[in-house]
Amino acid sequence: MEINFYKYQGTGNDFILIDNRELQFPSTDYDLVQKLCHRQFGIGADGLMLLERSDRADFKMIYYNADGKIGSMCGNGGRCIVAFAHQLGLIENNTCFEAPDGLHQAQIKNNWVTLEMSDVDEIKVFNDYVFLDTGSPHHVCFKMNLEETDVYQEGKLIRNGAPYFEKGTNVNFVEIISENELKVRTYERGVENETLSCGTGVTASAISAAHLNHTKKLPLKIQTLGGNLEINFFQDKEQSLYKNITLSGPATFVFKGVYSL
Ligand SMILES: N[C@H](CCC[C@H](N)C(=O)O)C(=O)O
């Protein structure tokens, strides 16, 4: 069997994309997904996405983490699948697609994709961290010096510890740069490592920073190891309600190929 795939990256968060409108991909073969994502034995990626038909939107996004398991929402992946649908000629500049956490509106201009994220109406603030769900679960903590943070070791401990344990969480470390700029580094569950960028993580970090009054202006500009992203939203702080949240940044086609089983 041959698998035609496309490789995309959004600020260095990289994905294998497969056009599965004919449902030819063995979508419950999680070992195969893990193998395809493997950096030494496969194509190599942080995650894999299937583009399928949807009966209520332009297309449907199925997302797997690099460990082969079905993941929750992926923000950079969502931006990349919009660029992929555009490359396939499936959409023009505006789209609405189905993702693990519901319907998403998005816009593409050249290789810049603006993706509307799910509303956030629950933010748990603890002494030394914030927890919220932006389509995927995120633990957010603030650091004075991100360059010196051991994201892998600290992230792994938090991801596997209480109260998350096996189900896990993604873990974000955030440094405030100015009233509308942040630096974010993320340990991703399902990849079980630091990735160069995490879209739902950057979204969670931006909302947490605004919620704690660390930032004052919008849009927020976020630096990740793999490039810059932008976050905007409407904020009703008293209600802990954040809506019309958008994540914007580049989504780039890298190469396509054929994998033989
Ligand atoms: N890289 C992704 C997050 C993937 C979510 C995954 N790590 C999980 O929690 O299942 C992003 O850009 O939002």
**Number of domains, the chain:** 2
pLDDT at 239 over 90: no
Q: What mean pLDDT do residues 133-148 have?
A: 98
Q: What mean pLDDT do residues 47-68 have?
A: 98
245 and 133 part of one domain: yes
Strand, helix or coil for residue 56: coil
Distance, CA 46 to ligand 1 centroid (Å)? 9
pLDDT at 153 over 90: yes
137 and 49 part of one domain: no
75 and 139 part of one domain: no
Distance, CA 187 to ligand 1 centroid (Å)? 10
Q: Quick check: CB of 205 below 6 Å from ligand 1?
A: no
76 annotated to a ligand binding site? yes
Q: What residue numbers bound the domain in which 103 lies? A: 2-115+251-260
DSSP E strands in the chain: the ranges are: 2-10, 13-19, 47-52, 60-65, 94-99, 102-109, 112-116, 123-125, 130-133, 137-142, 170-178, 181-188, 193-195, 220-224, 227-236, 241-250, 252-260
133 and 108 part of one domain: no
CA torsion through residues 140, 63, 76, 8, sign: positive
79: alpha, beta or left? (left if phi > 0; alpha if psi -120 to 50):
alpha
Distance, CA 195 to ligand 1 centroid (Å)? 10
pLDDT of residue 240: 85
163 and 239 part of one domain: yes
108 and 127 part of one domain: no
6 and 36 part of one domain: yes
pLDDT of residue 210: 97
As given in the structure block, the two tokens for residue 130 are 């914030």
Q: Can you tell me the distance from the alpha carbon of 160 to that of 166, in angstroms, rounded to the nearest whole number?
A: 6
Q: pLDDT tens for residues 188-217?
A: 999 999 999 999 999 999 999 999 999 999
Confidence of residue 238 (pLDDT cuts 50, 70, 90): confident
188 and 228 part of one domain: yes
Q: Quick check: CB of 34 below 6 Å from ligand 1?
A: no
131 and 232 part of one domain: yes
188 annotated to a ligand binding site? yes
pLDDT of residue 126: 98
